[in-house]
């Protein structure tokens, strides 16, 4: 068995009961084998990115400890998306409305560039909707080749991103 690593997962959605879907996805992530959910950010309301003519998103970040490799973890995340009604466009189009989006942002200090798997997430450092919750729960997380999450956040515009409401505080799941 491999040594556990800290992984960071981006969560988001803008269709249906998004907050309930994100809570359900967090429970499913925590139930993955060889994986323990350590901390989750608050939920943030964020403007749509990419295709802007769609409802705002709710985004969060989860920090977990896992012995799953990056590919196995990604496959598990894609299965959780499907279980929550996510349908990926067959034409490869991106950034449209979705019930649930789970992105593998970081997997320890791994740098992976394979078909269907790029870690760290290639747009992590320019997406305020990811960096705001990431810096909340793991400000010291290092994006290989780019720096710490808190420093990356300080260098971009995060206006328009705000907590989605009370009752979604950052929390440690297990001690």
What tokens appear for 8 in the block? 């960071």
Contact 166, 152 (CB under 8 A): no
Residue 88's pLDDT is what?
62
Per-residue model confidence as pLDDT tens digits over 108-134: 999 999 998 999 998 899 889 999 999
Average of pLDDT values for 51-71?
89
- Burial of residue 147, with CB atoms counted within 10 A of its CB: 0-12 exposed, 13-18 middle, 19 or more buried: middle
Domain boundaries, the chain: 5-169
Instruction: Name the CA radius of gyration of the chain, rounded.
Output: 15
151 vs 92 pLDDT, higher one: 151
Query: In the predicted model, is pLDDT for residue 55 greater than 60?
Result: yes
The reported pLDDT for the residue numbered 54 is: 74
d(CA 121, CA 131): 12
Cα–Cα distance between 19 and 92 in angstroms, integer?
A: 26
Active site residues: 86, 98, 101, 103
- pLDDT at residue 48, rounded to an integer: 77
Distances (CA, A) of 163 to 44, 108, 110, 171, 174: 4, 27, 30, 14, 23
Give the pLDDT band (50/70/90) at residue 50.
Answer: low
Q: 2.50.20.10, 3.30.70.560, 1.10.10.10, 2.40.50.100: which CATH number matches 5-169?
A: 3.30.70.560
Rounded CA-CA distance 100/57 in Å is 10
**173 pLDDT higher than 60:** no
Position 160 pLDDT exceeds 60: yes
Give residue 174's pLDDT: 38
CA 152 – CA 174 distance, rounded (Å): 28
Give the C-alpha separation, 157 to 147, whole Å: 17
């Amino acid at each position: 068995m491999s040594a556990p690593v800290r992984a960071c997962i981006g969560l988001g959605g803008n269709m249906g009961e998004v907050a309930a879907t994100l809570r359900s996805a967090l429970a499913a992530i925590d139930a993955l084998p060889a994986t323990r959910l350590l901390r989750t950010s608050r939920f943030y309301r964020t403007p749509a990115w990419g295709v802007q003519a769609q409802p705002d998103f709710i985004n969060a970040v989860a920090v977990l400890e896992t012995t799953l490799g990056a590919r196995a973890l990604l496959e598990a995340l894609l299965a959780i998306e499907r279980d929550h009604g996510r349908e990926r466009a067959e034409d490869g189009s991106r950034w449209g409305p979705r019930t649930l989006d789970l992105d593998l942002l970081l997997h320890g200090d791994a740098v992976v560039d394979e078909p269907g798997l790029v870690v760290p997430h290639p747009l992590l450092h320019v997406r305020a909707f990811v960096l705001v919750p990431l810096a909340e729960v793991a400000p010291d997380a290092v994006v290989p080749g780019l720096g710490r999450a808190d420093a990356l956040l300080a260098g971009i515009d995060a206006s328009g991103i705000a907590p989605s409401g009370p009752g979604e505080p950052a929390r440690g799941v297990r001690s």
